[in-house]
Structure 1
């Protein structure tokens, strides 16, 4: 028979990153969190996806520049299969007078290739928790900007969306470690030691 806890498990909630980080600078990012376990009044969640708000995406698109997009499917070291969507825009070269900053199709292909290489390298070399810490400060975006500077200068390079395609088998221990909680065995040992100490004091 199903209970209320079972009804909550697997449910996905979408929250603003600004609320989680208590920083309005991250208000344009939406994070999806999936409930994997329920303990009392607490729902233990895991990362399920990331997206930009539509108004942020519209604000990035401007005239006189080229838009470059790339998407990569990668597997993290802890066997999460993700698809990452990147977005980038060209900008004026130093001392450029011309108003437009359109990149040639060959340059766009070269930039997209670099974007794919960097995303694969950065995402495949870490676990899901480490990857999420790279997404918030735009570590991958800055790497792409540096690597493609010789092809064409870029600005507003972002991982605009992360989609979870496949996840490994549920592991309660890994989820508890993610939330900084100890396992039941450790808490049992602590209670046992405290009990022995109190007995010694009474004797």
Structure 2
């Protein structure tokens, strides 16, 4: 029954397609890692686990406050929904700022997407994820905007739930990328 699924059915087609795309990307990372293991291990040691952990904490916190925002919207508490959604949006902005510093440090050290296969994967896949974060920030900004108009959240619950599902997908994808690129 589609009535009990958060968001619109078409959104779930998009989310499942996006997960399939990223699953293929994870397979690409695994393929290159298995064929050039030493390069991956050496290059992985050049990543800042602190940046990776910070980004993970930011996105996990963002997912928590967005979920709290959806709950507040369901209760009709526009004020709390606004606050939580703005906090979620700010964690996305924080992620982008942290990623900027991380990329800058790599480029300043002479590391680029052409350095080796690991850094090609790193820049391409974290960059594609970053695009998803920026889109998510836009979605959260629209959700926040709707929460600013009294009574508009009740009429927008499918959008609010769908936007939250997208944001949770962005979080999930980062957790897997973090594990593959920073920890594996």
Greater relative contact order: 1 or 2 (C-alpha under 8 angstroms, separation 6 or more)? 2
TM-score range normalised by the length of the shorter chain: under 0.3
TM-score of the aligned structures, taking structure 2 as reference length: 0.27
Please state which structure has a larger fraction of its residues in strand.
1
